[in-house]
Amino acid sequence: MYMKKILLILCLLGFSVVASAADDIVITDDMVVKFKQDCDSNEALGCARLGFAYANGKGVKQNYFKANKYYKKACDLDYAEGCYNLGFLYDENKGVLGFLYDENKGVSGVFYDEGKQNYFKANKYYKKACDLDYANGCAGLGFLYDEGKGVRQDFCKAKEFYGKACDLGLQKGCDWYKEKRSEWCLW
């Protein structure tokens, strides 16, 4: 299963964090300014591109918290790739906020919660991406069901989401769909 997760991550990284492809992308200061203007005007693609810049340290200092913020805005504007990338950040625990809690004062501060993934939120954003017909979101959701991460393990649902990813054109989704044994879903 560890190798499958590595393959899923490599396959699904898409625009956000593809190791070699992201290395080749150059984002200039002028591009960052344009992405910010577009995002401020509620143009989802600008927000997603700004999220990419921050997630990968392209044209700006790498900052997963800001990447999270801009991917969330893109997702809120129904941009499927933004939803997927936000889900991926939660899946990989990048830029995830936690809260300091004091019994007497309540919430007393905010911090980066490095060390624990939030598979429930990853599920939420992968699902939205899948609902918006983004193949990588469906495959990510299938993987969470396959592994029982943030959801009760369910091979039938995993197969369903891998199948949708396949139908949307993701070859790895087709491969993983074929791996799931049909008799697991008869009960």
Residue 18 clears pLDDT 60, i.e. is over it: no
* Residue 38: predicted pLDDT: 97
154 phi/psi in degrees, rounded to 5 = -150, 100
- DSSP 3-state of 139: helix
* Residue 30: predicted pLDDT: 95
pLDDT interval class at 180 (50, 70, 90): confident
More reliable by pLDDT, 181 or 78: 78
More reliable by pLDDT, 126 or 111: 126
Q: Residue 39 pairs with which residues in a beta bridge?
A: none
Angstrom distances, CA of residue 143 to CA of 65, 80, 84: 24, 18, 13
* Residue 179: predicted pLDDT: 85
Residue 2 clears pLDDT 80, i.e. is over it: no
Q: Which of 86, 80, 84, 72 is nearest to 11 (CA)?
A: 84
Please list the alpha-helical segments (H only) found in 78-154.
80-92, 119-131, 135-147
Q: Which fold has domain 2-179?
A: 1.25.40
Residues in the chain: 187
Domain boundaries, given as residue ranges, for the chain = 2-179
More reliable by pLDDT, 115 or 162: 162
What does the pLDDT look like over 130-177, one tens digit per residue? Answer: 999 999 999 999 999 999 999 999 999 999 999 999 999 999 999 999
- The amino acid at 25: I
More reliable by pLDDT, 78 or 97: 78
What does the pLDDT look like over 40-95, one tens digit per residue? Answer: 999 999 999 999 999 999 999 999 999 999 999 999 999 999 999 999 999 988 86
Q: Which of 184, 185, 166 is nearest to 175 (CA)?
A: 166
| Average model confidence (pLDDT) across the chain | 82
Contacts 24+ apart (CB under 8 A), 16-24: 16/51, 16/52, 16/55, 16/56, 16/71, 16/81, 16/84, 16/85, 16/88, 17/55, 17/56, 17/85, 17/88, 22/52, 22/56, 22/58
* Residue 52: predicted pLDDT: 95
Q: What DSSP character marks residue 77?
A: T
